[in-house]
Structure 1
Amino acid sequence: MRRIFARLGESPFGPAVLGLVYFAVATLALLATRSAHGIAAIWPPSGILLATLLSVPRRAVWRFAVAAIVASLAANMVAGSGLRVSAGFSAANGLEAMVATLVLRRRSGRRVSFIDPSGLSAFFGASFVAAFVSAGVAACIAPQSGGGFILSWFSTVWLGLLLVTPLLLAIFEISASTRQAVSGRQTLDLIGIVLLTILATGSTFCQTQYPMLFVPMMVIVIAVLRGGMLGGIISMIVVVIFGSLALWWGTGPIFLIRTSHESRLLFFQFYLLSLFVSALPMATLLAARDRLRVNLSERIRLLDQAEAAAHIGHWRINAVDQAVLWSPEVFRMHGLPEDASPALDDATGHYHPDDRERVSKAVAAALADGQPFAFEARIVRPDGTVRHVEIQGERDYSSQDDAIGLFGLIRDITEQIEARQVLRDARDAADRSAQAAMLLASTDALTGLANRRRIVEYLDAMLADVDAGEVAMSIVLFDIDHFKTVNDRYGHDVGDEVLRRVAATATEGLRNTDLIGRYGGEEFVIILPRTNADTALQIAERVRARIEASWQDGQPKVTVSLGIATTHGEDAGHGILKRADVALYAAKSAGRNRLRLAS
């Protein structure tokens, strides 16, 4: 409907259509209920014009206003008023809608809303000002004007604006939005409201025996509760129609008042105003409540979506009865249906057995002293799967009864825990790889002993301890006697096996604190920390004897010659190695398979 008015505003025929409607309604209103001043009980054309001016584009307002003024002029002249009076009344009628439109659009733009108290108050005030201005202009034109005329005109115009404009704007709004289209049930409610109002209003105004004017008010309250703003306005329009017809026919409870026709008309107008003041604010509050309910529902829906996307839920524990409240995401974390929140003991029972006591203690302590808490725990779902969660909570005061409780968040961190474990495993694997690389870099590939690099590093470290005041250190340098002959006679494969056997046998004769390594070729070094010359000679002899006795059938028998050196003075690594090497050559010169101590 609003789109229709928008198209009419652009069309050259739009003002003509409004003019015809305005003329027809104005003529009926003038004929329906008249007083000595020719003023109707309610002036619906004012509401029609205001609703139109609020709906059409701003640039088309003046064309529709002019069309309505011309139609009003024609209607007044048809009703028997002179040209001067008709022109003045028509100007007043056009002015009232223009004033109300100007006030409302300056406040809220093009759209006027009745679903919040401020919008209704603005419309109430704008229509009051417009009716007051219109009554003042009409009083200057009327042949016989006075306080009664001004009051009658004011109430007639104001009622027309108050009753008709909201009804038309509500219809426009419903027609313009498919989301707000009236459903089948709402249609049945509106039909029921109309029938009930007709029955109640007819029973009230078709008799003059009982003052039953309270009955329509009761029906209007029911109409507001069932049909909202639209239902209330429709019900009031029915009351206006029946009441006006009753005044015309000379029947109804109003005629129980022994007074003039003008006073009865004024009473009826203020009766309608009281209905408006009673019903529409209530309808507005109900509409505002429904809007808040919809907004709250939408916010809850968005909150649920946000929690589901972030895998975060919220919970609350009532300290009085220890009732537990879970958000939908908490149910999903636990793998439970969203039927009812569990008791506190049952909620704790969903945690891993190893975590339950810790969870219970944290909750109990928070309830007792109000200290916030945060920890990680595991949830065991009914299907046996385990979810890791992070829980935090703090003291909370209920907004309803000031009861102390706990409020907190629970976040599913299973993916983070799994990622953390993957990183930990990767780090451990990297550490193992690094250690393996370091071991490989410091190990002789053939014998598995320390290589030359490792020997030199270890020797320098031991010599540093000796410089710091430790006891003497000794080294043993030995090689295999006639090893070249073994390679030439048996081949390099056998030679490699001999090297491995000598390395293993020599290692068996050492202490846990000693280090043996392959220095190069068939030459080996033994580092003996905190060992003097006498002990070094004993260890060297034990190694020599084991190697000599280690040969088996089918294997070449080998022996070793050994040179021993012990630190003295400020030995460096190359210095002690050189002295051991001199001792080794002395052992070889003495016939091999023997040992010598460096001087």
Structure 2
Amino acid sequence: MRQMFARLGYSPLGPALLGIAYFALAVLSLVVARGAHGIAAIWPPSGILLATLLIVPRRAVWRFAMAAIVASLAANLLEGSGFRVAAGFTAANGIEALVATVMLRRRGGRRISFIDPSGLSTFFIATLIAASVSAGLAACISPQPGREFMLAWLSTVWLGMLLVTPLLFAIFEIAVSAKRAVSGRETLNLAGIVVLTVVATGTTFYQSQYPMLFVPMMVIVIAVLRGGMLGGVISIIVVVMLGSLALWLGSGPIFLIRASHESRILFFQFYLLSLFVSALPMATLLAARDRLRINLSERVRLLDQAEAVAHIGHWRINPSDQAIYWSPEVFRIHGLPEGQPPALDQAIDLYHPADRGRVSEAVKRALTDGRPFAFEARLVRSDGAIRHVETQGERVYSSREDAIGLFGLIRDVTEQIEARRVLSDARDAADRSAEAAMLLASTDALTGLANRRRIVEYLDDKLRGAAAGEAQPSIVLFDIDHFKFVNDRYGHDIGDEVLKRVASAAAEGLRNTDLIGRYGGEEFVIILPGTDASSALQIAERVRAKVEASQHEGQPTVTVSLGIASTGGEDTSHSILKRADVALYEAKSAGRNRLRLAS
């Protein structure tokens, strides 16, 4: 539909239709309600032309303006005006339309809005200025210029624009609206407004006994309440048409006024202006209210959608009676159907018993001290499910009194809590795996003692400490006597068991600070931190005796030979192990099952 209007604006048919309508209404207005100066009570062509120039595309304005100029000139000539006067009046009507159009389309070509209070006031002022300019030009052309003529012209064309333009705009918006069509109920409603206005206007204007001019105004108010801007404008137009006809017929309460015909026309025009000022601003305010309500409803809907996606709800505690309001998402978080929220004490009881005291204390402190609060707690739903929530709020005051209330947000963080727990478990498992890997990398798989790598690292560490001034360590290197014979006679399985038995027995003879490890095969190393040679000999003897005394059914008794070495200032792990190894072979050469101290 909008595209059809656009095409009509650029085709010759559009200007032709405007010219015909302009000419017909101009002739009808001059015939029906003629004043002493040949001026009608209302000039509808001005409203038609202004509405057209505001609706059509900017580039097509001049085409319609030219069509209206031709129609106006023809109507004035037909009514008997001379060419100079007809041309002057036509120029005045054309200029008024162009002035109003420029003022109303000055912002990027946007159309004026009659459902916006500022738009209506702008329209009111712009048409008044345009009508004033037109009246001044017409007064210069008129054969009988004067203040009365200017006032009559101004009121006539101004009313034409004020009353007709909004009606055409409303019809245009309905015709091109892509959102919805006028329903049958709305059509019936508008028809009822027309019928009611016809009855009220006929009762008022087609009798001259009672001054009932207030009756149409009451009906127009009803029309605005029932039909909005369109209903109000239609009702006013009906009053204009029937009132103008009654004025032409010499009927109506206006003739109760003892004054000239010109004064009666001016009074009627003032009456129509009063209807406009009374009805249309109210219609605009009602439309603005409806628009605000729709916008608010849409924002609330979008807010509810956003809260549902984010699992965040908002709540407030009324300042006057501490009644609770919950948004829909708060009900969903609590697992409750939407309806009346519980009282404050009952809402706190919905939390986990272990969290209720903390929640209650936070709310009471916020109400008394005014400090914002935030806490994380558990909700227990009616089905027993537990939800973790984060709540934050702060104190607010009533706009009309000093009563204190609260406003806050609640967020379901159950998934985040579960994710944190899973992440923590995964981190702990990773730490345990890392510890196990490190232990595996530094442990002998058979005996469970430190392996060769761990022994060398630990010995290097103690030697660095000794170089830095700490006490010197000693080491004991020992192996199992005749272990090859054990493997050959009893088998490697028994040999492995013997290795484990020797490792366990040797460890029993050590201190908590000592480290024993399997160096390779049947060879073991003991590192004795902060131990001199004398103490090292005592510990080595204790280890030898423990091994010799260890017994196990099905396993042979074995002994060990031990070499002891105390570190010196220049020792490395290689050198001290080498000296202990020499001492070990000295012990074996001396008969085994004994120990020797390296020189």
Q: Evaluate the alpha carbon distance shift between residue 528 and residue 276 of structure 1 in structure 2; reply closer, same or farther with a 3 A threshold.
A: same
Q: What is residue 98 of structure 1 aligned with on the other side? A: 98
Q: Which residue does 2:218 correspond to in 1?
A: 218
Q: Which residue of 2 aligns with 1:368?
A: 368
Q: Contact 1:197 / 1:216 at 8 angstroms: preserved in 2?
A: yes
* Structure 1 segment 180-199 matched on structure 2, within 5 A: 181-199=181-199
Equivalent in the alignment of 2:141: 141
Which AA in structure 2 matches 1:479? D
Match of 2:47 in 1: 47
Quote the residue 1:527 is aligned against.
527
Q: Distance in 1 between matches of 2:206 and 2:355?
A: 79
Q: Show the 5 A alignment for 1:41-80.
A: 41-80=41-80
Residue matched to 1:478 = 478
Cα distance change of structure 1 residues 522 and 115 upon mapping to structure 2, 3 Å threshold: same
Aligned-residue offset at 1:48:
0.8
| Residue 287 (structure 2) aligns with | 287
Q: Cα distance, 1:275 vs. partner?
A: 0.8
Return 43-52 or 369-378, whichever deviates more.
369-378
Alpha carbons of 1:139 and 1:472: their partners in 2 closer, same or farther (altered >3 Å)?
A: closer
Q: 1:143 to 1:51 in 2, by over 3 A?
A: same
Deviations 1:439-482 (CA, angstroms, capped at 9, x unpaired): 11211122111112222333344456667777775543321110
**In 2, Cα distance between equivalents of 1:375 and 1:123:** 56
- Structure 2 residue matching 1:342: 3-state secondary structure: coil
- 1:200-239 alignment to 2 at 5 Å? 200-239=200-239
For 1:46, give the aligned amino acid: S
Q: Could you tell me how far 1:47 is from its partner in structure 2?
A: 0.6
Query: 1:316-374 CA deviation, whole Å, 9 max, x = no partner?
Result: 23454333333333333223333233322233233333322222222222222222233
1:261-303 per-residue CA deviation (whole Å, 9 max, x = no partner) reads 2211111110000111111111112222222222222222233
Contact 1:471–1:530 (8 Å) recurs in 2: yes
Report the CA distance between 1:128 and its aligned residue: 0.8
Contact 1:197–1:239, Cα closer than 8 Å, also in 2: yes
Amino acid at match of 1:203: T
State the distance in 1 between where 2:143 and 2:297 align.
Answer: 59
Corresponding position: 1:562 with 2:559: no
- Give the TM-score, by structure 1 length: 0.92
Q: Tell me how far apart the structure 1 counterparts of residues 467 and 8 of structure 2 sit (CA, whole Å).
A: 108
SS at match of 1:291: helix
Q: Which amino acid aligns with 1:179?
A: K
Give how far 1:559 is off.
1.7
- The residue identity in structure 2 corresponding to 1:587 is A
**Whole-Å separation in 2 of the counterparts to 1:566 and 1:15:** 119
Alpha-carbon separation, structure 1, partners of 2:473 and 2:561: 20
Shift of 1:563: 3.4
Structure 1 residue 555: Cα displacement: 2.4
CA distances 1:303-323 after superposition (whole Å, capped 9, x unpaired) = 333333333333323454333
1:3 & 1:195 partners in 2: Cα distance? Answer: 34
- The answer on whether the counterparts of 1:372 and 1:392 sit within 8 Å (CA) in structure 2 is yes
Equivalent AA in structure 2 for residue 63 of structure 1 = R
DSSP 3-state at the match of 2:106 = helix
| Equivalent position SS for 1:450 | coil
Moved more, 80-89 or 240-249: 80-89
In the TM superposition, what is the alpha-carbon distance from 1:117 to its structure 2 partner?
1.7
Q: CA deviation at 1:233?
A: 0.6
Query: Higher mean Cα deviation, 237-246 or 369-378?
Result: 369-378
Worse-superposed segment, 447-456 or 522-531: 522-531
For structure 1, which segment, 459-468 or 16-25, has the greater mean C-alpha deviation from structure 2 after superposition?
459-468
User: Do the aligned residues in 2 keep the contact of 1:2 with 1:173 (CA within 8 Å)?
Assistant: no
Judging changes above 3 Å, is the alpha-carbon distance between structure 1 residues 23 and 3 closer, same or farther for their aligned structure 2 residues?
farther
Partner of 1:431: 431
Give me the whole-angstrom Cα distance separating, in 2, the residues matched to 1:157 and 1:4: 30
Shift of 1:190: 1.7
* CA distance 1:402–1:112, shift in 2 (3 Å): farther
Q: Classify the secondary structure of the residue corresponding to 1:554.
A: coil
In the alignment, which residue of structure 2 is the partner of 1:21?
21
Aligned residue number for residue 178 of structure 1: 178
Corresponding residue number in structure 1 for 2:587: 587
**Aligned-pair Cα RMSD in Å:** 2.7
Alignment-mate amino acid for residue 254 of structure 2: I
User: Given that residues 131 and 154 in structure 1 are in contact (C-alpha distance below 8 angstroms), is that contact kept between their aligned partners in structure 2?
Assistant: yes
Give 1:389's aligned residue: 389
Distance 1:193 1:108, change over 3 A: farther
Q: Which amino acid aligns with 1:344?
A: L
Residue 276 (1) aligns with residue 276 (2): yes
Letter in 2 for 1:149: F
* More off after superposition, 185-194 vs 261-270: 185-194
Indicate how the Cα distance of structure 1 residues 64 and 468 shifts in structure 2: closer, same or farther if over 3 A, else same. closer
Match of residue 411 from structure 1: 411
Q: How is 1:441-460 mapped onto 2 (pairs within 5 angstroms)?
A: 441-460=441-460
Count of residue pairs the alignment pairs up? 599
CA contact (8 A) 2:446 2:500 kept: yes
Contact 2:209–2:253 (CA under 8 A) maintained in structure 1 = yes
Q: Which amino acid aligns with 2:422?
A: V
* Residue 511 of structure 1, CA deviation: 4.1
Distance 2:531 2:105 in 1: 105
Secondary structure in 2 matching 1:106: coil
Query: Structure 2: how far apart are the matches of 1:501 and 1:110?
Result: 99
Corresponding position of 1:151: 151
Identity %, equivalent residues:
78
| Residues 69 and 467 of structure 1: CA distance in aligned 2, closer, same or farther (over 3 Å) | closer
Distance 2:108 2:39 in 1: 32
Match of 2:547 in 1: 547
- Asked if the contact 1:2–1:172 (Cα under 8 Å) also holds between the matched residues in 2, the reply is no
* Residue identity matched to 2:222: I
Q: Report the equivalent of 1:255.
A: 255
Secondary structure at the aligned position of 2:198 is classed as helix
User: Structure 1 residue 236: deviation in Å?
Assistant: 0.6
2:538 and 2:510 mapped to 1: Cα distance? 11
* Greater CA drift, 503-512 or 221-230: 503-512
- AA paired with 1:133? V
Unmatched tracts of structure 1, length 5 or more: none
Retained in 2: the 8 A contact 1:324–1:344?
yes
The residue that corresponds to 1:298 in the other structure is 298
Q: CA offsets per residue over residues 200-232 of structure 1, 9 Å max, x none?
A: 222211222221111111111121122111111
1:312–1:410 CA contact under 8 A, matched in 2? yes
Aligned equivalent of 1:518: 518
CA contact (8 A) 1:5 1:52 kept: no
From the superposition, tell whether residues 226 and 400 of structure 1 become closer, same or farther in structure 2 (CA, over 3 Å).
farther
Unaligned runs of 5+ in 2: none
Cα distance per residue 1:216-261 (max 9 Å; x no partner): 1111112112211111111111111121122122221111112222
Partner amino acid, structure 2, of 1:390:
E
Rounded Cα–Cα distance in structure 2 between residues aligned with 1:138 and 1:318: 65
- For 2:55 and 2:468, the matched residues in 1 are separated by 100
Check conservation: 1:6, 1:55, Cα contact below 8 A: no
State the shift of 1:539 in Å. Answer: 4.5
Shift in alpha-carbon separation, 1:529–1:388, aligned structure 2, 3 A: same
Deviations 1:545-576 (CA, angstroms, capped at 9, x unpaired): 44334344432332222334556778665565
CA drift at 1:97: 1.6
Task: Determine if contact 1:208/1:255 at 8 Å carries over to the other structure.
Answer: yes
Q: Which deviates more from structure 2 when the two are superposed, residues 569-578 or residues 285-294?
A: 569-578
1:11 to partner: Cα distance: 1.0
* Counterpart Cα distance in 2 of 1:451 and 1:4: 93
